[in-house]
Every structure is written in structure tokens, then in C-alpha cells.
């Protein structure tokens, strides 16, 4: 992925920056990777990265898998939303937990709590915005935040600690369980 795009090629730049960001975040973690280093790796200026992506948090969210697909997962029948979210989450994590934004976030807590907080805030704000398209009611934001908390907790259990019932059950069983829990959290009623 070492292409050095021509300066008049904005889409090439964008791709080069995203490739560089994935490499840097993967190698050095969220807290230690810098926009400057990502820009250098992509062969563009620091200023161009910030103009295109706004901040390190936004660049991270644009570069990592999962977050970009959230809008697509959410679009559709609200009735089956918990199933779509649970299955998309499990599929994404089973495929590549190591570079997943939730895992990167959790790993960054110990090294730089402030960076982790900013990243969490950006992820959560994006999620709440996306869910609010289909979930309403006075405590919709709190319910979406509780859903996010459940996914964080399952991530710690199955993909980081890798121990106990949630780590041992087959992926389809986890998706079923999780869909039921997320249905309760989002709609506050039995599955």
C-alpha cells in the first residue's frame, strides 16, 4: 500500500491516508499513533489529513472496519434491528477482533485514558446519531448507550479475556443471546 498519490488526486489521497491510518493504529495503538506520522506515511501534509478527516478520532473511525457499516446495519425494519446489530457485531468481531475499534478503544484505556475517552465519545456520539433515526422515546440516547455498554462488555469477555461462558459458546449462539438482550435494552420488552 505504498502508493504516493499525485497531489491533484483527492480520492487517491483519501485512500492513502486511510491505509496509512490502519497501519499506524494497528502497529502503535490509538493513543500512540499520531496524525503527523500517518500523514508522512501517506505522503501528504498534516494539514491535509486534518482538513479531510477533522481529528485523530474521526480519522480512526473512518479507517477502522465496523463503524462505517453501522448506517447500513441500522437501516431497515426496526423490529429486527436487534438481530441485525447482534449478527453484524458477532460477524465483524469473529472476522478480525484485533483491529476492531472496540478492542483498540479498550486497549488504549490503560495507556492514555484521555485519548480513550475522546475516542469513546466520538464512537458513542456517532452511534447515538445513527440509532436515533430508528429509535425514539424520551430515553432513546440512554438505551442506545446501554446497548453500546453491552457490546463493550461482551468484547472484553469474549475477545480480550477470552474466558467464561460468552467466550466458549459458538458464534451463532452468542449472536442469538445477544440479539435477545439487545431487544430488551432497545425496546424494554421481552424478546
Interface residues with its own copies (CB under 8 A) are 29, 106-111, 113, 116-117, 120-121, 124-125, 128, 139, 141-142, 144-146, 148-154, 156-157, 160-166, 169, 177-178, 180-181, 184-185, 188-191
Rounded to a whole number of angstroms, the minimum distance from the CB of residue 98 to its own copies is 11
Which CB, 49 or 179, lies closer to its own copies?
179
Handedness of CA 85, 136, 125, 166 (dihedral sign): negative
Helix orientation angle between 140-154 and 101-111, rounded to the nearest 10 degrees: 80
Using the structure block, give the residue that is written with the C-alpha cell 474521526.
Answer: 58
Judged by CB, which is closer to its own copies: 65, or 153?
A: 153
The residues, ordered by sequence, that sit 6+ positions from 87 with a Cβ below 8 Å of its Cβ are 175, 179
Q: What are phi and psi of 66, to 5 degrees?
A: 100, -60
Q: How near is the Cβ of 97 to its own copies at its closest, in Å?
A: 12
Which residues touch 48 (CB under 8 Å, ≥6 apart)?
Answer: 13, 17, 39
Nearer residue to its own copies within complex by CB, 39 or 182 = 182
Q: Which is nearer to its own copies, 1 or 125 (CB)?
A: 125
CB of 87 to its own copies, least distance (A): 16
Contact 108, 146 (CB under 8 A): no
Work out how close the CB of 14 gets to its own copies at its nearest, in angstroms, rounded to a whole number.
28
CB of 8 to its own copies, least distance (A): 39
Complex with its own copies: residue 40 or 152, whichever CB lies closer? 152
DSSP letters of 55-95? SHHHHHHHHSTTGGGHHHHHSS-GGGHHHHHHHHHHHHHHH
Instruction: In angstroms, give the least distance from the CB of 68 to its own copies.
Output: 20
Q: Between 15 and 157, name the residue whose CB sits nearer to its own copies.
A: 157
Q: Where do we find the cell 435494552? A: 185
Amino acid at each position: 500500500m505504498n502508493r504516493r498519490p499525485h497531489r491533484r488526486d483527492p480520492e487517491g489521497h483519501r485512500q492513502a491516508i486511510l491505509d496509512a491510518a490502519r497501519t499506524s493504529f494497528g502497529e502503535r495503538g490509538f493513543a500512540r499513533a499520531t496524525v503527523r506520522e500517518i500523514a508522512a506515511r501517506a505522503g501528504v501534509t498534516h494539514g491535509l489529513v486534518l482538513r479531510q478527516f477533522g481529528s485523530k478520532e474521526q480519522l480512526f473511525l473512518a479507517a477502522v472496519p465496523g463503524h462505517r457499516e453501522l448506517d447500513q446495519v441500522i437501516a431497515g425494519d426496526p423490529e429486527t434491528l436487534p438481530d441485525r446489530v447482534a449478527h453484524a457485531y458477532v460477524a465483524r468481531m469473529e472476522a478480525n477482533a484485533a483491529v476492531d475499534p472496540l478492542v483498540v478503544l479498550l486497549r488504549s484505556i490503560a495507556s492514555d485514558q484521555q485519548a480513550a475517552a475522546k475516542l469513546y465519545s466520538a464512537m458513542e456520539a456517532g452511534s447515538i446519531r445513527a440509532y436515533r433515526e430508528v429509535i425514539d422515546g424520551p430515553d432513546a440516547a440512554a438505551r442506545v448507550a446501554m446497548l453500546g455498554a453491552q457490546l463493550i462488555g461482551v468484547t472484553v469477555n469474549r475477545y480480550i479475556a477470552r474466558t467464561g461462558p460468552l467466550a466458549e459458546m459458538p458464534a451463532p449462539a452468542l449472536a442469538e443471546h445477544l440479539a435477545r438482550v439487545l431487544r430488551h435494552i432497545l425496546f424494554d420488552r421481552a424478546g
